Amino acid sequence: MKRKVKLICAFLLLACFIMTGCTNKGDEPKKTIKVGTNAEFPPFEYINEQGEVDGFDMAIMKAIGEEKGYEINIVNMEFKSLAASLKTGALDAVAAGMTVTEERKQTVDFSDSYYIAVQSIVLKKDSEIQSIEDLNGKKIAVQEGTTGDFLVTPEDDNEIITDKNTQVKRFKKGADAIVELKNGGVDAVVIDSSPARSFVAANEKDLKYVDVETSEESYAIAVGKGNKELLDDINEGLAAIKEKGIFDELVNQYINGNDNKVRQTSDNPIMQIIYDCKYVFIDTNGYQLLLEGLGVTIGISFAAVCLGIVLGFIIALMKLTETRKKRKTVLSVIANVYINVLRGTPVMVQLLIMYMIVFRSNMAYLAAILTFGINSGAYVAENIRAGIMAVDQGQMEGGRSLGFTYSQTMRYIILPQAIKNAFPALGNEFITLLKETSIVGYVAIRDLTKAADFIISRTYEAFYPLIAIAIIYFILVWGLTKLLAVVERRMRRSDLR
- In the complex, the residues that contact ligand ARG under the rule CB under 6 A are 37-38, 40-41, 45, 79, 96-99, 143, 146-147, 192
To the nearest whole angstrom, how small is the minimum distance from the Cβ of residue 483 to ligand ARG? 43
Question: Which of residues 37 and 409 has its CB atom nearest to ligand ARG in the complex?
Answer: 37
Q: What is the DSSP letter of 404?
A: -
Largest CA distance in the chain: 92
The size of the chain, in residues, is: 497
Tell me how far, at minimum, the Cβ of 75 lies from ligand ARG, in Å. 12
Nearer residue to ligand ARG within complex by CB, 221 or 314:
221
Smallest distance, Å, CB 189 to ligand ARG?
Answer: 12
Q: Which residues pair with 53 in a beta bridge?
A: 47
Contact of 218 with 100, CB cutoff 8 Å: yes
Shortest Å distance, C-beta 328 to ligand ARG: 54
In 3D space, the residue among 244, 290, 87, 121 whose CA is nearest the CA of residue 190 turns out to be: 121
Nearest to ligand ARG of 151, 374 (CB atom): 151
Residue placing its CB nearer to ligand ARG in the complex, 96 or 320: 96
Question: Measured between alpha carbons, how far is residue 254 from residues 116, 186, 249, 258, 457 in Å?
Answer: 15, 30, 9, 6, 18
- Report the sign of the C-alpha dihedral through residues 53, 57, 59, 65, in that order: negative
Q: How far is the CB of 201 from ligand ARG (least distance, A)?
A: 18
Minimum distance, C-beta of residue 323 to ligand ARG, in the bound complex (Å): 56
d(CA 329, CA 342): 20
Which helix (H) or strand (E) is 211 found in, with range?
strand 207-224
- Evaluate whether 198 touches 43 at the Cβ level (below 8 Å): yes
Nearer CB in complex with ligand ARG: 220/384: 220
Q: Would you call 155 exposed, middle or buried from its count of C-beta atoms within 10 A (0-12, 13-18, 19+)?
A: exposed
Q: How far is the CB of 100 from ligand ARG (least distance, A)?
A: 8
Residue 351 CB, shortest distance to ligand ARG, in Å, is 24
With respect to ligand ARG, which residue has the nearer C-beta, 171 or 355?
171
> Residue 442 carries which side chain, given as an amino acid letter?
Y
Helix, strand, coil shares of the chain, percent, nearest 5, are 60, 15, 25
Nearer to ligand ARG, 95 or 369 (CB): 95
Q: Which is nearer to ligand ARG, 103 or 126 (CB)?
A: 103
On whether the CB atoms of residues 200 and 72 are closer than 8 A, the answer is no
196 contact partners, CB below 8 Å, separation of at least 6: 120, 121, 122, 189, 209
- Tell me whether residue 99 or residue 203 sits nearer to ligand ARG (CB atom): 99
| Dist CA 313 CA 226 (whole Å) | 53
Q: Measured from the CB of residue 79, what is the shortest distance to ligand ARG in angstroms? A: 4
